[in-house]
Chain A
Amino acid sequence: DIQMTQSPSSVSASVGDRVTITCRASQDISSSLAWYQQRPGKAPHLLMYSASSLQGGVPSRFSGSGSGTDFTLTITSLQPEDLATYYCQQTSSFPLTFGGGTKVEIK
């Protein structure tokens, strides 16, 4: 099974700050990576797919990069509505696996 490791587990930042979340796969998954945002009490929703493609309707302050085993999700200018937990997911092979999540808090 492919293990997905996210860091940090939580981050606190101010509105307008740049926030970077890292996801590492235990083996090469090429660009088969998705990112999700889960706001408190809500279902997750898709932010990025194929590591760097922005899902429709997602603000352009979100971006993704990486390939192989190391990936990042960047929020260039943190907004209050970005308070959420963010998950990466490898889409390369079954069993599909998620990272443990990164909780983003607003200072």
Chain B
Amino acid sequence: EVQLFESGGDLVQPGGSVRLSCEAYGFTLNNFAMTWVRQAPGKGLEWVATIDSSGGSGTHYADSVKGRFTISRDGSKNMLYLYMNSLRVDDTAVYYCVRPRISNPHTRCFAPWGQGTLVIVSS
């Protein structure tokens, strides 16, 4: 069964850093472009970042996180990461790790989703 499990969410002060992790089960993470999506409390969904499959080298970021967040993967561990620096109060959200429905570079709809991990940025 294909599953994703996020971890690393925490209470962080503004300006701080945190690393989110996502462990993939049931598929080879390197074969898929992988994405982080976030949801602020009581709000809608916001795309954060995507890393191309290992055959490509591209990363894509929302303007709201560009220069502060870094998405990366470790294929040997089947893990996806999101390094979050210079955190702001408006980064407070549940962060979801998501995989495309199929392994196709142009497929950008997501199934499955992880359960999410909560990052709270507050002093």
Give chain B residues whose Cβ lies under 8 Å from the Cβ of A96: 35, 47, 50, 108
Interface size counted on chain B using CB atoms at 8 A? 21
A97 within 8 Å of B by Cβ? yes
Contact status of A43 and B45, CB under 8 A, knowing A49-B101, A95-B60, A95-B62? no
Asked if A95 and B113 make an inter-chain contact with CB atoms under 8 angstroms apart, the answer reads: no
Contact status of A43 and B44, CB under 8 A, knowing A49-B109, A91-B109, A95-B62? no
When chains A and B are docked, how far (Å) is the Cα of A95 from the Cα of B115? Answer: 23
When chains A and B are docked, how far (Å) is the Cα of A36 from the Cα of B108? Answer: 13
Report which residue of B45, B112, B113 has the largest number of chain A beta carbons within 10 angstroms of its beta carbon: B45
Asked if A94 and B101 make an inter-chain contact with CB atoms under 8 angstroms apart, the answer reads: no
Interface size counted on chain A using CB atoms at 8 A? 21
Asked if B46 and A98 make an inter-chain contact with CB atoms under 8 angstroms apart, the answer reads: yes
Contacting residues of chain A (32-52) with chain B, CB-CB under 8 angstroms: 32, 34, 36, 38, 43-46, 49
Give chain B residues whose Cβ lies under 8 Å from the Cβ of A101: 44-45
Asked if B50 and A91 make an inter-chain contact with CB atoms under 8 angstroms apart, the answer reads: no
Q: A-facing mask of B46-61, CB < 8 A → 1, else 0?
A: 1100100000000010
Contact status of A46 and B111, CB under 8 A, knowing A94-B50, A94-B60, A101-B44? yes
When chains A and B are docked, how far (Å) is the Cα of A87 from the Cα of B39? Answer: 12
Distance (whole angstroms) from the CB of A54 to the closest CB of chain B: 12
Contacting residues of chain B (88-120) with chain A, CB-CB under 8 angstroms: 96, 101, 107-116
B63 within 8 Å of A by Cβ? yes
Distance (whole angstroms) from the CB of B106 to the closest CB of chain A: 8
A-B contact pairs, 6 of them (CB 8 A): A38-B45, A43-B115, A44-B96, A46-B110, A98-B44, A98-B47
Extra contacts, 6 of them, besides A38-B45, A43-B96, A101-B44 (Cβ < 8 A), are A36-B45, A43-B116, A44-B96, A96-B35, A98-B44, A98-B46
